[in-house]
Amino acid sequence: MSIPAAEPAAGSEEATGKTAASPPVVSANVILRILRMAARHRVGMALGILCAVVAANFQLLIPRYLGDAVDHAQGLLARTASGRDVAEAALWTTALLVLGAGVMRGVFTMLQNYLGESLGHRIGYELRLAYFEKLQRLSFGYHDRVHSGDLITRGMLDVEGVRRFLENAVFRTITLAVLVGYGGYHVVSIDPVLGTLALSFVPFVAWRAAVSRLWLRRTWRTLQERLSELTRIMEENLGGIKVVRAFVAQAFELAKFDRASSAALAMSLRRIDLRYRNGAAMSLAYYTAMGLVLWVGGSKVIEGALSVGTLAEFLTFMAILQQPVRQIGMIVNSAARGSISGARVFEVLDLEPAIRDQPGAQALAITQGVLRFEHVDFSYRSDGVPLVLRDVTFEVGPGRTLGIVGPPGSGKSTLAHLVARFYDVRAGRITIDGQDIRHVTLDSLRACVGVMQQDTFLFSASIQNNIAYGDPEVAEERIAEAAESAQLHRFVERLPARYETLVGERGLTLSGGQRQRLSIARSLLPGPKVIVFDDSTASVDAGTERQIRAALRELGKARTTLIISHRLGSLMHADEIVFLDGGRIVERGTHAELLALGGRYRGLYDLQVRGADASPPGASLSESSRAQ
Amino acid sequence: MSPQSRDAVDQGTSAPRPPRAAIEDTDEQIFGKVFDRGIMRRFIGYVAPYRRRLWLAIGCVVLFTASQLAIPLVIGLAIDRALATDAMDSRLLLMTALAFAAVIAVNAAANLGQDIIVGKTGERVLYDLRRAMFAHLQRLSMSFMDKTEVGRLMSRLQGDIGALQEFLDTLVTSIGDILLLVGIVAVLLYLDVQLAGLTLSVVGVLLIVRIVWLPPARRAFVRARQASSIVNGALAENINGVRTVQEMTREAINFARFEHKARDYLKATLRAAKFSQIMIPIVDTLTGTALAIVIFAGGTRVLDGTLELGVMVAFVFYVQRFFDPIRSLTAQYSVMQRAMASGQRIFEVLDVTADVVDKSSAIDLREIEPSIEFRHVSFGYVPGRPVLHDVSFKAAPGEVIALVGPTGSGKTSTAALIHRFYDVWSGQVLIGGHDVREVTQHSLGRQVGMVLQEPFLFTDTICENIRYGNRAATQDQVIDAAKAVGAHDFIMQLPLGYDTPLEQRGANLSLGQRQLISFARALIADTGILILDEATASIDSYTEQAIQLAMRRLLTGRTAVVIAHRLATVRNADRIIVLQDGRIVETGTHHQLVEQRGLYHRLHAMNYASFDDVCETEALGATSPTTAT
């Protein structure tokens, strides 16, 4: 789907671009880009500008009419009572004109504000969707590097920051410009000296606004950093409350909190200082100009060079300017925030997912389900150092099982991730039925590859919805079948609400083994042709694990299976076992062959078996292997 | 229909089984009273320390309002006295101009003082409040912390505190607004009763309009807020579960659902915008009407000579100011309401009393013999549903006791009672012969160390993490501890060694490495009694070797209770206690228990790697030893 907001202009390559510490983005560019997005809503934007201009003009009419009213009222005082009717009629007209101008100004201000809000919300909506869509497509590599909390903040607060900028700043700036520009022109044309005086505060205010914008930006950023530090401390403290209690570290934690809290407070206070001092300076400038107008204008009235009405018009004009001038601070503030927030959102939107469909990618056509690794090299880093997998080659056919074993960090789990193309290989290729997985669509690939991970994520939803996550429309029987294969069905049946039981953050707490079985059921549901168990039965006991595997065999489908495990008992029956070390296959063969070889595999086997009889290590392994 | 129920309905129809984005926080729906005296009083309690500043601020508000009121008066005076009369007097004009300058100087200074004092005091009060809450959470019993989600507490610490900040900001402006309003009315009446009466009649109309407008507008605002939290919940869930989303290729479905929610939010918020913007032309029309009244009625009287021109000009100025405070006062209504709801939630947490507290007569545990004794302990989390029944055992100094049993048998509860995370229902837990309720929690914590299943580390350097339980430890002691548990080598391979900062809870280390660090942490804390709660679960066999070694080092010379997941750990213990359904069913060494042919033997013979899944996968009839053969 194409999302207009996802402008891939400044596209930094995801694999190389460091997202955490990005170079400072020029704020003007960000603002321009936000405005360009807004400009796509041509009608709304044009109407908004129109309304802003019209509203400002109506507002400018009011001082003129009021000035007239004063003159009319005074005019008669000066002269005789003869023209009283004329004067009264003039007052009537003026009163109606003032009322009319007020109503019109109100209507157009309303429209302008509404259009501003609507524009902000529409852009917010677009950004939010684009952001969501982008995050879903960004590869594991990206999500490995970036804090999920940071991503959530960007999606919530920063999108909001951009929206507020559009809502508060754009049309108001136009109103302000018209008021100062056109109104200024008008008063200067009436009386150049007095007009200049009336406007004398504008350059000062503009200068302050420009300067404070920089300060505020900086303060904002620092404050945000310190606040997120504070948040982190609180979150960690509450999340690890048992550790805090166990080590009687409450006092230490409070001290830590206090440090972060006072650092944030200092910044908050600084921000207040900056903001209000600035506001006060601006409003002082404004009133000074007003005082000057009063004095100089008053002198002119005394000299007879100016009517009282015109003076009143000048003063009313200035009174009208007061509100928008006050808003300058707000506009500046929201522009500062908008540009920071926009930069943070665009940073994500501009990323190109490292893993994506190639142009013209075809759906994977499964004939048998033969999985081949051909001289695969892999590294998590773009410079290729260190290589996590080197020259890995193997083939597994349907109905057959490959076991992968090796010490931690040998690249086992990486290998599992490569099969579903969560990362791309650095060299060599991976094929399924002869098709390079980079040349087929991701959707079709992941639909036929089921990777069952050690770490499981459950959604705050019912067991049923969690199992059916990949295919929400699936029939209930299929859910029960998947659960049965994963040896979860009997457990679920004993729960009061059965498949409707809520799990996840706000539901029933499941044991590690139960979670894993739930995630296995979830992965099994779509009926993958290639199944990868990435230590996914580590928390499941040996007996259950055997039952799961037996159930899978019974399902009858000729699946291709990859088992990654540190439990030899889990994979000793595999048709082939490879022993990975340092990313290389150092030994391969069947269980018996590898034992006979007397190498690393044998060493591990001895370690696990010996452990059962003598000293502690790996009793669980020995238990399961002895059971054979 | 509320957004929740709408959401539920469309889940029921459009897609049958989509996980909910997030279950809605019912708190969101509670919209508190506009004014709750109890909450206000307590809130004022936090403001009290800043009383003097606040009086100063109120002084500033008064000055500010007065100067605001004076400005049109001075202008009117200038026009009347210096300009409009026949004797135009430039000296008088200069004086009024100077008076004007003085007034604006006061105005600016008072405004600055008000804003800065109020702003800063507000921030301080909120930081105080947040600290009070945080400190309170440090004292609350585990029974409260267990059942309360971190996310929920965080939203109180952040969101609710933020709402109060908004409130405090508006509170003082409200005072200013009310003063200004009263001031304007007073000045208008003083200037000219008749004209004032006419002008003020418009205000009545505005009040009626607001009363009609308020209820539907409020509903629209609430809807918009709810829709917003639904969207944000969905976003957060997708970010947290992004790997699963990609694995299951749920992107398209999730996007469609998200789009739906985002659109709902857009609609709700635009509706709310309509409600808030409709007031502008209404207020402007009324302002226009009032101005027209001033111009016509006032102007006619100026013609009659019964009203001074300056008074009319002053009226024109005041009327334009008049509606601002009314508008902002009614806008603050919803801020007040939100603040009351937030205040209620904050004080709700602050009102939770810690049920595990030090007795006034509690003593400090110092040099004690590290023994543990349970005497007929019964305990549970929910009244009427005991988890432990009459549990009694004794661990002599230096003895290692393993607790085993199926899930829910009470192992972790037993361990938690030793550290007095909870209080027993009946019976006694004694450490070195002292009832844990008779000693201070602080000193108890110094005697009892814990290593948990999930090795929770803090975002700090490795060194600081190891020193967590003993701040006084030197760098050398840290290194020694790391060496003792076999963590030194991998730490030295990290870029900055011991000074390597840990990413989000140690994400840059493997689980096994984190566990080793947590062992080093426990070693440095050097407590006589140690509890290992499933510390070796879900660790691969390579690391487990290292861990077992580390564990032996750690246990040397300490009294320990080991909750065991794996048989390997169990068989090394001096004594094994088998728990089932909260009762001790067997006790003895590995060999004794195997001989006894009871539950332990049965578990052992069934080749279970862990006891966790026993209940589910096997028949439950294992209670009596005779069934197992």
Nearest CB among A235, A247, A544 relative to B613 is that of A544
Residue A626: its chain B contacts at CB < 8 A?
607
Shortest Cα distance from A445 to chain B (angstroms)?
A: 10
Give the whole-angstrom CA distance, residue A488 versus residue A472.
19
pLDDT of residue A557: 63
Give the whole-angstrom CA distance, residue A409 versus residue B446.
37
**Positive or negative: CA dihedral A332, A337, A340, A344:** negative
For the segment A47-69, the average pLDDT, to the nearest whole number, is 83
Radius of gyration of chain B (CA): 36
Tokens of B629: 């053969």
Is residue A540 very low, low, confident or very high in pLDDT (cuts 50, 70, 90)? low
pLDDT of residue A24: 43
pLDDT tens-digit map of A424-451: 888 888 888 888 888 888 888 888 888 8
pLDDT of residue B609: 43
pLDDT of residue A541: 61
Q: Which residues pair with A404 in a beta bridge?
A: A564, A578
Give the whole-angstrom CA distance, residue A217 versus residue A342.
13
Shortest Cα distance from B32 to chain A (angstroms)?
A: 25
Dihedrals φ, ψ of B375, to 5°?
-115, 110
Q: Do A204 and A285 form a contact (C-beta atoms < 8 A)?
A: yes
pLDDT of residue B16: 35
Residue A242: its chain B contacts at CB < 8 A?
142, 421, 450, 452, 456
* Long-range Cβ contact pairs of A19-25 (< 8 A, separation 24 or more): A19/A142, A19/A145, A19/A146, A19/A347, A19/A348, A19/A351, A20/A145, A20/A146, A22/A343, A22/A347, A25/A343, A25/A346, A25/A347
pLDDT of residue B10: 35
Give the whole-angstrom CA distance, residue B217 versus residue B494.
59
Residue A106: its chain B contacts at CB < 8 A?
280-285, 287-288
Residue A56 has pLDDT above 50, yes or no: yes
Residue A558 has pLDDT above 80, yes or no: no
Which range of A480-484, B195-199, B356-360, B382-386 scores highest in mean pLDDT? It is B195-199
pLDDT of residue A200: 84
Looking up tokens 């199926």 gives: B406
Give the whole-angstrom CA distance, residue A388 versus residue B485.
27
A201 Cβ neighbours under 8 A, 6+ residues apart:
A282, A285, A286, A288, A289, A325
Give the whole-angstrom CA distance, residue B154 versus residue A236.
11
Q: Which of A248, A413, A493 to mutate to test the interface with B (most CBs of B within 10 A)?
A: A248
Tokens of B153: 């507490």
For the segment A417-421, the average pLDDT, to the nearest whole number, is 84
Give the whole-angstrom CA distance, residue B590 versus residue B570.
8
If you ran DSSP here, which 8-state letter would residue B371 be given? Answer: -
The chain A residue lying nearest B241, using CA atoms, is A457
Q: Do B99 and B74 form a contact (C-beta atoms < 8 A)?
A: yes
Contact B274 A114 (CB under 8 A): yes
Helix (H, G, I), strand (E, B) or coil at A535: coil
Shortest Cα distance from A444 to chain B (angstroms)?
A: 9
Contact B442 A617 (CB under 8 A): no
The chain A residue lying nearest B306, using CA atoms, is A77
Give the lowest-confidence range in A326-330, B138-142, B598-602: A326-330
Burial class of residue B88 (count of CB atoms within 10 Å of its CB; 0-12, 13-18, 19+): middle
Helix (H, G, I), strand (E, B) or coil at B577: strand
Any idea of the CA torsion for B474, B478, B481, B486, to the nearest 10 degrees?
Answer: -160
Comparison of pLDDT for B179 and B549, the residue scoring more: B179
Contact A107 B281 (CB under 8 A): yes
Shortest Cα distance from B194 to chain A (angstroms)?
A: 18
pLDDT tens-digit map of A12-55: 334 333 333 344 444 678 888 888 888 888 888 899 889 888 88
Nearest CB among B236, B238, B544 relative to A617 is that of B544
For the segment A198-221, the average pLDDT, to the nearest whole number, is 80
Q: Do A521 and A551 form a contact (C-beta atoms < 8 A)?
A: no
Give the whole-angstrom CA distance, residue A365 versus residue B138.
58
Contact B108 A280 (CB under 8 A): yes
For the segment B66-82, the average pLDDT, to the nearest whole number, is 77
Half-sphere exposure of B300 (CA within 13 A, CB side): 13
Contact B567 A619 (CB under 8 A): yes
Contact A408 B543 (CB under 8 A): yes
pLDDT of residue B83: 62
If you ran DSSP here, which 8-state letter would residue B353 be given? Answer: P
Q: Do A133 and B255 form a contact (C-beta atoms < 8 A)?
A: yes
A290 Cβ neighbours under 8 A, 6+ residues apart:
A198, A315, A318, B100, B104
Give the lowest-confidence range in A402-406, B266-270, B408-412, B497-501: B408-412
Contact A129 B262 (CB under 8 A): yes
Q: What is the mean pLDDT of chain B?
A: 76
What count of other Cβ atoms lies within 10 Å of the Cβ of residue A610? 13
Shortest Cα distance from B448 to chain A (angstroms)?
A: 7
CB pairs under 8 A between A and B: 478
Contact B116 A273 (CB under 8 A): yes
Contact A148 B239 (CB under 8 A): yes
Comparison of pLDDT for B152 and A198, the residue scoring more: A198
User: If we measure between CA atoms, which residue out of B439, B357, B368, B369 comes closest to residue B399?
Assistant: B369
Q: Do B602 and B615 form a contact (C-beta atoms < 8 A)?
A: no
With both helix axes pointing from N to C terminus, report the angle between A308-349 and A250-303 in degrees, rounded to the nearest 10: 150
Residue A371 has pLDDT above 50, yes or no: yes
Catalogue all structural domains in chain A, each as residue range(s) with its CATH number: 27-349 (1.20.1560.10), 371-626 (3.40.50.300)
- Fill in the amino acid letter for B467: R
Contact B452 A231 (CB under 8 A): no
Radius of gyration of chain A (CA): 36
Contact A72 B273 (CB under 8 A): no
Domain B32-192+337-355 top-level CATH class: mainly alpha
For the segment A120-124, the average pLDDT, to the nearest whole number, is 89
Residue A490 has pLDDT above 50, yes or no: yes
Contact B84 A77 (CB under 8 A): yes
Nearest CB among B259, B320, B441 relative to A129 is that of B259
Tokens of B40: 């206000």
Burial class of residue B491 (count of CB atoms within 10 Å of its CB; 0-12, 13-18, 19+): buried
| DSSP count for chain B of H helices, then E strands | 24, 10
Burial class of residue A149 (count of CB atoms within 10 Å of its CB; 0-12, 13-18, 19+): middle
CATH topology of domain B372-627: Rossmann fold (3.40.50)
Give the whole-angstrom CA distance, residue B617 versus residue B601.
17
Residue A473: its chain B contacts at CB < 8 A?
15-17
Residue B235: its chain A contacts at CB < 8 A?
128, 132, 152, 155-156
| DSSP count for chain A of H helices, then E strands | 23, 12
For the segment B179-208, the average pLDDT, to the nearest whole number, is 84
Q: Which of A91, A518, A544 to mutate to test the interface with B (most CBs of B within 10 A)?
A: A91
For the segment A188-195, the average pLDDT, to the nearest whole number, is 84
Domain range summary for chain B, segments of one domain joined by +: 32-192+337-355, 193-306, 372-627
User: If we measure between CA atoms, which residue out of A65, A311, A72 comes closest to residue B75?
Assistant: A311
Shortest Cα distance from B340 to chain A (angstroms)?
A: 23
Residue B316: its chain A contacts at CB < 8 A?
66, 312, 316
Distances (CA, A) of A402 to A564, A565, A572, A577, B587: 9, 11, 10, 6, 43
Contact A460 B20 (CB under 8 A): yes
Contact B139 A261 (CB under 8 A): no
CA angle A332, A333, A337 (to 5 degrees): 115
pLDDT tens-digit map of A579-596: 888 888 888 888 888 888
Residue A140: its chain B contacts at CB < 8 A?
243, 246
For the segment A468-478, the average pLDDT, to the nearest whole number, is 77
Q: Do B612 and B407 form a contact (C-beta atoms < 8 A)?
A: yes
Give the whole-angstrom CA distance, residue B39 versus residue A28.
45
Contact B607 A626 (CB under 8 A): yes
Helix (H, G, I), strand (E, B) or coil at A533: strand
Which range of A348-362, A425-439, B526-540 scores highest in mean pLDDT? It is A425-439
Tokens of B215: 């209820």
pLDDT of residue B604: 67
User: If we measure between CA atoms, which residue out of A239, A251, A259 comes closest to residue B135?
Assistant: A251
The chain A residue lying nearest B283, using CA atoms, is A106
Give the whole-angstrom CA distance, residue A244 versus residue A256.
12
Shortest Cα distance from A181 to chain B (angstroms)?
A: 22
Give the lowest-confidence range in A489-498, B201-210, B540-549: B540-549
User: If we measure between CA atoms, which residue out of A527, A528, A516, A421 comes closest to residue A466?
Assistant: A516
The chain A residue lying nearest B75, using CA atoms, is A294
Residue A606 has pLDDT above 80, yes or no: no
CA angle A237, A238, A243 (to 5 degrees): 65
Contact B273 A277 (CB under 8 A): no
For the segment A212-240, the average pLDDT, to the nearest whole number, is 80
For the segment B366-384, the average pLDDT, to the nearest whole number, is 84
The chain B residue lying nearest A82, using CA atoms, is B303
Q: Which of A82, A128, A621, A628 to mutate to test the interface with B (most CBs of B within 10 A)?
A: A128
Residue A96 has pLDDT above 80, yes or no: yes
What count of other Cβ atoms lies within 10 Å of the Cβ of residue A477? 8
pLDDT of residue A608: 63
Give the whole-angstrom CA distance, residue B395 versus residue A215.
64
Residue A389 has pLDDT above 60, yes or no: yes
Shortest Cα distance from B29 to chain A (angstroms)?
A: 18
Give the whole-angstrom CA distance, residue B474 versus residue A540.
41
Contact A299 B90 (CB under 8 A): yes
B550 Cβ neighbours under 8 A, 6+ residues apart:
B484, B485, B486, B487, B516, B519
pLDDT of residue B9: 33
Residue A490: its chain B contacts at CB < 8 A?
616-617
What count of other Cβ atoms lies within 10 Å of the Cβ of residue B58? 17
Comparison of pLDDT for A36 and B324, the residue scoring more: A36
Q: Do A280 and A204 form a contact (C-beta atoms < 8 A)?
A: no
Looking up tokens 């407070």 gives: A265
Half-sphere exposure of B587 (CA within 13 A, CB side): 9
Q: What percent of chain A has pLDDT over 70?
A: 84
ipTM metric: 0.76
Nearest CB among A156, A522, A619 relative to B235 is that of A156
